[in-house]
Amino acid sequence: MSPLDDLSPIAACCPALTARADIEPYARDWSGRYAHPPHAVLRPGSTAEVAAALRACAAAGFAVVPAGGRTGLCGGAVPRADGPPAVVLSLERMNRIRAVDARDFTITVDAGCTVRAVQEAAAAVDRLFPLSFGAEGTAQIGGALSTNAGGIRTIRWGNARDLVLGLEVVLPDGRVLDDLRRVRKDNTGYALRHLFIGAEGTLGVITGAALKLAPALRARETAFLAVPSPAAALALLDRLASNGAELIGFELIGRWPLELVRRHAPRARLPFALESPWYVLLELGTAAAADLRTPLEAALAAAIEAGEAGEAVIAESEEQRAALWYLREIMPECNRAEAPSVSADTSVPVSAVPAFLAEVEAALAARWPEGKLIAVGHAGDGNVHIALQAPRGTPREAWHRNAEAIEDMVNRIAVAHGGSFSAEHGIGQSKRHAMAALRDPVALDLMRTIKAALDPRGLMNPGKMLP
Amino acid sequence: MSPLDDLSPIAACCPALTARADIEPYARDWSGRYAHPPHAVLRPGSTAEVAAALRACAAAGFAVVPAGGRTGLCGGAVPRADGPPAVVLSLERMNRIRAVDARDFTITVDAGCTVRAVQEAAAAVDRLFPLSFGAEGTAQIGGALSTNAGGIRTIRWGNARDLVLGLEVVLPDGRVLDDLRRVRKDNTGYALRHLFIGAEGTLGVITGAALKLAPALRARETAFLAVPSPAAALALLDRLASNGAELIGFELIGRWPLELVRRHAPRARLPFALESPWYVLLELGTAAAADLRTPLEAALAAAIEAGEAGEAVIAESEEQRAALWYLREIMPECNRAEAPSVSADTSVPVSAVPAFLAEVEAALAARWPEGKLIAVGHAGDGNVHIALQAPRGTPREAWHRNAEAIEDMVNRIAVAHGGSFSAEHGIGQSKRHAMAALRDPVALDLMRTIKAALDPRGLMNPGKMLP
């Protein structure tokens, strides 16, 4: 019997797509680097349907590739050509907000809700769901949890992991782990939720989550400033953090990506000429009706006095604030409009950011002098994204022949500084070789032990994450 | 060969105690409820010695009971009479602060450092290690992580788990997992550290930890007030939290435990007569040089106006602040001085605290009308400790014959409200029956799968946590 003959019991579990044209969008993610069509796309509408689908796939020997908004950058939600025949399990129809409790600062949602839908449901009851990143309008919360997404607010509220109180998970054999707890303190055995968060669907399928909320922000101040160096930016960060400034974002931006914004984003308005090698976009925010402006101005004045900052603007209106954040948000598109680039996803301890950047810049320039360094990211938590961009006109395929070598160079420098080669995008397919090369062998062995114990047949998202 | 003949290769790994008098203190914890002497006490001074000890114990078939300050209340660090012969592995000699990095807001420590030693090392560089609870002067950080300790600051900085960036763990076979990372963002595979945090030594021995620090507090305000009911207390909490008050503690206290403080703590000074059924001790704190007094006074005035609070005092000096906290800290001793009691360790969603307390009070009074309800705890995160106290003069043994029935009654009410029967003390030996009775069977099965995969011979702290 061919794999396709086995499809009928699986497709009977829940609505399914099997026509080639319908399946095509599920063959790839935003990276554009991986593409392979599944045998079918299952679209369950309930936890019970997910459970039935996983039981049927286990019985038929099909691999299950869970997929959310497919905004991943590492091929984690894309089927592979090798291994068992695969179906994509799309959570898109499971998009209910199950409950919002303002008094408890919690929200309980289906895994297929977009991150933005969760933000909006929280805002409707004067609460903030702090997880925020570029793809939030499309990315689904199940995927964001399965990759332990980061983003611009990590400096204040942590990663996706830190926002989870409880999970509902369908296990590889179709059993349902109902661990949707909403308590802040719970020590009843191993912290099972933390196994599935960041596991990229290799241990089961997250179908629901109970999440923490914060009070809605009542005061916000946003500043954009030129800084002479990463070290100066971090001195400013230290000045703010040590004095209890209500930092909710701290982005470090190199000149080149801003130059690309100037070139390719006609709507962008740069507040001043790009004469400095580095820039900082920072934001303070609090739920109190507090004056954040005075302490921000004082901190910036002190920073300018100390030579840590040059020109600086503070947004005077919501419109100006949006315009400043637009500079940051439009960057990936402008980078792509200019020329192909190869990106890493590194983090280092915050104090190591300047040395890390200096070493990366020197090493990349020595080997690929024609490349342009794009450095931009969440410096407040040590997560600066490095990309090396080809000269204009270079074909993507040609530049991407350097991909593994570029990534490896950047990753090794990060790891030498006590850092990580996967800060917030996950491993998927693209960083499995880095896992093999750079992760501690004892840690890898433990991960394989866990995988074998929970998914002994190896049908959950095979060929992802673990090398 | 008897077990004692096997001791020599184990005792050769590291300094060991084998004389009966030396071993005796390691036979019990603070609960006083469990006591059983180990065959020996191993006192390794390094991670390598811990690894050698675990290899030797595995070879000889000895169970390993890791122990820190032995301030646990559930018998987790006490050997058992059943099962394989056991040694206690005490981390007390591993008490080095390995590194403090103020700029990165991190500290890296040996597992045997006391919680207070970590606090003090942080304070020395103008930083705060926020974990704080009654036993902090004796409890060791390895034990605090192994039980995922909570305490009075959870409302602001989370549980012990939330303060961990990386861990060093010796596995049951003696291999060392070196995962002492200090980065804020890291998605390189399964979050192994979260398996060992809260695992009560059943999967391996935590030997080191990289922990998060916060900026030192520059402003603090502490208030003590009478409230008419738990619902009124939570209305005040909501008023403060929704408006971004910098809450770092929110304790709800029943009248009876305060009455016992009045009786048994001559040094205690109650700020006013105990005419209200409930009281709140709350604290605001921030690293900013901010005025917290004005917003606190405004919030208290609004709460009094709304009938949520009656008499209230705000500490006017460090001495007064200490005197207010003394009322809370001396409570366990005063309770013990009065009469024996049976305690639970429950948490519920914050909004469920009033209904939970009302049901508990009614149910306990109906069955044990002679008992006195002690309700005191961290209401800001839904964690109110319930104890039922015997009439004065009742022998401990007599009252503790009710222990399982009292705990079971309180635990079931908590679970019915979506709560937990083990909020911050762990499971140890005392709550294994609750695990069996009240925890989801799928969750229990997953935990057993993980235990069998990581500790296939079952030598790590057997008879603890898992039922």
* Per-residue model confidence as pLDDT tens digits over A330-376: 999 999 999 999 999 999 999 999 999 999 999 999 999 999 999 99
Q: How far apart are CA B350 and CA B418, in angstroms?
A: 11
Chain A residues with CB-CB distance to B179 below 8 A: 440, 443
Arithmetic mean of pLDDT, A231-246: 94
Residues of chain B neighbouring A452 (CB-CB closer than 8 A): 453
- d(CA A425, nearest CA chain B) in Å: 7
For testing the chain A interface, which of B101, B185, B242 should be mutated: the one with the most A CBs within 10 Å? B185
As a whole number of angstroms, the distance between CA B391 and CA B339 comes to 7
The pair of three-digit structure tokens given for residue A165, joined into one six-digit string: 């109180």
| DSSP 8-class letter at A32 | S
Strand order in the sheet with A97-101: A97-101, A106-110, A205-212, A164-170, A176-179
If you average pLDDT over residues A128-142, what whole number do you get? Answer: 97
pLDDT at residue A1 in the model: 41
Residues of B in contact with A150 (CB under 8 A): 185
Contacts of residue B370, Cβ cutoff 8 Å, sequence gap at least 6: B390, B391
A178 and B453: CB-CB below 8 Å?
A: no
**pLDDT tens-digit map of B378-430:** 998 999 999 999 999 999 999 999 999 999 999 999 999 999 999 999 999 99
Residues in A touching B188 (Cβ below 8 Å): 420-422, 427, 431, 435, 439
Structure tokens at B119: 């606090």
Asked if B69 and B19 touch (Cβ cutoff 8 Å), the reply is no
Counting residues of chain B whose pLDDT is more than 90, the rounded percentage is 95
| Contacts B190 to A, Cβ<8 Å | 195, 198-199, 203, 446-447, 450
CB contact under 8 A, A420 and B450: no
Among B101, B126, B420, whose Cβ lies nearest the Cβ of A188?
A: B420
Contact state of A183 with B159 under an 8 Å Cβ cutoff: no
If one compares B32 and A267, the residue with the highest pLDDT of the two is A267
| ∠ Cα A110 A115 A119 (to 5°) | 100
Q: Which secondary-structure segment (H or E) carries B377?
A: strand B372-378
pLDDT at position B7: 84
A188, A422, A431 ranked by CB distance to B427: nearest: A188
A68-83 mean pLDDT: 95
pLDDT digits over B210-267, tens only? 999 999 999 999 999 999 999 999 999 999 998 899 999 999 999 999 999 999 999 9
B327/chain A closest Cα distance in angstroms: 24
Out of A8-17, A117-126, A199-208, least confident range: A8-17
Edge-to-edge strand ranges of the sheet holding A247-254: A312-314, A219-227, A278-286, A247-254, A372-378, A383-389, A341-343
Q: Say whether A185 and B447 touch across the interface (CB within 8 A).
A: no
**A345 Cβ neighbours under 8 A, 6+ residues apart:** A73, A383, A385, A421, A422, A423, A424, A425, A431
User: Is there a contact between A176 and B442 if contact means CB atoms under 8 Å apart?
Assistant: yes
Nearest residue, CB atoms, B418 vs list A181, A289, A348 = A181
What is the nearest CA distance from A266 to chain B, expressed in angstroms?
Answer: 33
Contact A423 B190 (CB under 8 A): no
pLDDT at position A181 over 60: yes
Cβ contact B418–A197 (<8 Å) = no
Percent of chain B residues past pLDDT 70, beyond the cut: 99
Number of H helices, E strands in chain B: 17, 18
Instruction: Please report which confidence band the pLDDT of residue B4 belongs to, taking 50, 70 and 90 as the band edges.
Output: low
Strands A341-343 and A219-227: unpaired
Interface A-B, measured as beta-carbon pairs within 8 A, has a size of 265
Which residues from chain B sit within 8 angstroms of residue A190, using beta carbons? Answer: 195, 198-199, 203, 446-447, 450
Distance CA A402, CA B460 (A): 48
Chain A residue numbers with beta carbons less than 8 Å from the beta carbon of B243 are 215, 218, 287-289
pLDDT > 60? residue A306: yes
| CB atoms B186 and A422 under 8 Å | yes
Mention every residue, 6+ apart, whose C-beta is less than 8 A from residue B276. Answer: B226, B227, B228, B255, B310, B311
The CA distance from B193 to the nearest CA of chain A, in Å, is 9
Q: How confident is the model at residue B91 (pLDDT cuts 50, 70, 90)?
A: very high
**DSSP-assigned beta bridge partners for residue A109:** A97, A209
Instruction: Name every chain B residue with its beta carbon within 8 A of the beta carbon of A295.
Output: 288
Q: At what angle do helices B293-305 and B230-242 cross, to 10 degrees?
A: 140
Name the residue among A158, A179, A426 with its Cβ closest to that of B443: A179
How high is the pLDDT of residue B148? 98
Taking an 8 Å cut-off on Cβ atoms, the answer to whether B418 and A176 are in contact is: no
Asked if B423 lies within 8 A of A161 by C-beta distance, the reply is no
Answer yes or no: do B195 and A194 touch at CB < 8 A: yes
Q: What is the mean pLDDT of residues A64-87?
A: 95
Q: Considering only CB atoms, which chain A residues are within 8 Å of B210?
A: none
Contact A188 B439 (CB under 8 A): yes
Question: Is A183 in contact with B288 (Cβ distance < 8 A)?
Answer: no
d(CA B97, CA B118): 7
Chosen for mutation from B145, B183, B384, B411 (greatest number of chain A CBs closer than 10 Å) is: B183
pTM: 0.97
Nearest CA in chain A to B217: A244
Q: What residue in B sits closest to A444 (Cα-Cα)? A: B189
User: What is the band of B8 on the pLDDT scale with cuts at 50, 70, 90?
Assistant: confident
Instruction: Pick the residue from chain B with its C-alpha nearest to A426.
Output: B187
Rounded to the nearest integer, the mean pLDDT of chain A is: 96
Cβ-defined contact of A351 to B383 (cutoff 8 Å): no
- Per the CB < 8 Å rule, is B347 touching A186? yes
Q: Do B183 and A419 touch (CB under 8 A)?
A: yes
* Mutation target among B184, B213, B407, B425 for the A interface, most CBs of A within 10 A: B184
Contacts of B181 in chain A (CB under 8 A): 418, 420
Of A155, A197, A245, nearest to B288 by CB-CB distance is A245
Contacts of A192 in chain B (CB under 8 A): 443, 446-447
Can you list the alpha helix ranges (DSSP code H) found in A265-352?
A: 293-305, 318-329, 331-338
Nearest residue to B200 (alpha-carbon basis) of B145, B146, B144, B143: B146
- Categorize the per-residue pLDDT at A5 as very low, low, confident or very high, splitting at 50, 70 and 90: low
Most B-contacting residue of A106, A184, A440 (CB-CB within 10 A), to test interface? A184
d(CA B87, CA B42): 7
Share above pLDDT 70 across residues of chain A, in percent, rounded to a whole number:
99
**Summary mean pLDDT of chain B:** 96
> Cα(B137)–Cα(B144) distance, rounded to whole angstroms?
12
From the list A181, A190, A246, the residue facing B447 with the nearest CB is A190
CA-based nearest residue to A240, from A276, A288, A285: A285
pLDDT score of A8: 86
Least CA distance to B177: which residue of chain A? A442
Partner-chain contact A350 B421, CB within 8 Å? no
Partner-chain contact B185 A347, CB within 8 Å: yes
Instruction: Give pLDDT, residue B1.
Output: 41
| Structure confidence by residue, pLDDT tens digits, B148-181 | 999 999 999 999 999 999 999 999 999 999 999 9
Q: What is the pLDDT of residue A4?
A: 57
Rounded to the nearest 10°, the torsion over CA B287, B293, B295, B301 is 150
Cross-chain CB nearest to A420 (options B154, B183, B424): B183
C-beta atoms of B187 and A418 within 8 A: no
On the question of pLDDT at A172 being above 80, the answer is yes
Helix (H, G, I), strand (E, B) or coil at A192: helix
